[in-house]
Chains A and B, each alone.
Chain A
Amino acid sequence: MGAFQSIVEQTGDMLVRLSARMLGNVTDAEDVVQEAFVKAYQALVADEFDGRSSVKTWLYRIVTNASLDALRKRKRKAEVGDDVLTDLPGGSDAAQLEARMALRELSDYLDGLPEDQRTAIILKGVEGLTTGEVAAIMETTEGAVEQRLVRARATLRSKRSET
């Protein structure tokens, strides 16, 4: 339990940030990451973590999938993006406000991308992971990741030229 607490403390910020970048909302991201940690804990206790990937990659994968599930649920409820700026727990200072405005800009910028392209571009272009790490998280090949990145960039370029 103590070792797991140390994992939560070391990776919590990083995973909430990842989920927030995918969802455009920190409050929802905390809920998603909390659920993801519970799943990870249950998997560790049941000895289901096979150690083929690093703990970081494994947690990234769990949080990415949980965030995608949350996005799908939210799309079904048609609530996308409207609550970003009301999501300000303890974020009254200028830096936090600026960060949340940037989160909204990111969410709007990536809006409309298919979820596999959106995931690839967030992991590679925003999180700064290598193509190999992105492939491991998305459980696909590096070639498939590159293809998704090319398509995502093409869509984002055309979006830019439209505006």
Chain B
Amino acid sequence: MTAGDEQVDSKLKRLAAETESLGASARFSSRVMQSLPSVTPSGIWTDVTASARWLMPAFALAAVVAVVWAVSSEELNTELLASTETAEIEW
């Protein structure tokens, strides 16, 4: 390191010392904390329930389709049963 470099370094050290008293203002920490976005806790269960929320309409539709199918197949079964009973009488 040359004498010129030492002069540069000593000037930087002086300026560092003279600016050492600078810092954040009194309310800086509370300002930062207020600016943080609200974040919900994460984890596997919160992820699962969050994903499940999007599937609820599909599940509801599937349930309606299942009920309609069950009712219609019940009617079909009744008809089939009736025809079977008839067959039994014939037998």
Contact = CB atoms under 8 A, between A and B. Distances in A.
A125 interface: yes
The size class of the interface chain A forms with chain B is 35 or more
A109 B15 contact: yes
A93 to B, nearest CB: 10
Contact of B12 (A89, A98, A121): A121
Contacts of B57: none
B23 A9 contact: no
Contact of A126 (B12, B28, B39): B12
Q: Is the interface of B mostly helix, strand, loop or mixed?
A: helix
Nearest to A106: B15
Contacts of A153: 4-5, 8-9
B35 A38 contact: yes
A37 B32 contact: yes
A34 B4 CA distance: 38
B53 interface: no
Contacts of A109: 11, 15
Contact of A41 (B7, B18, B24, B36): B36
B86 interface: no
A87 to B, nearest CB: 11
B20 A4 contact: no
Contacts of A13: 23-24
Given A105-B15, A125-B13, A128-B16, A12 B32 contact: yes
Contacts of A34: 28, 31-32, 35
A109 B9 CA distance: 12
Interface of B: 2, 4-5, 7-9, 11-13, 15-16, 18-26, 28-29, 31-33, 35-37, 39, 42
7 contacts: A16-B28, A17-B20, A17-B22, A20-B22, A38-B35, A106-B12, A109-B15
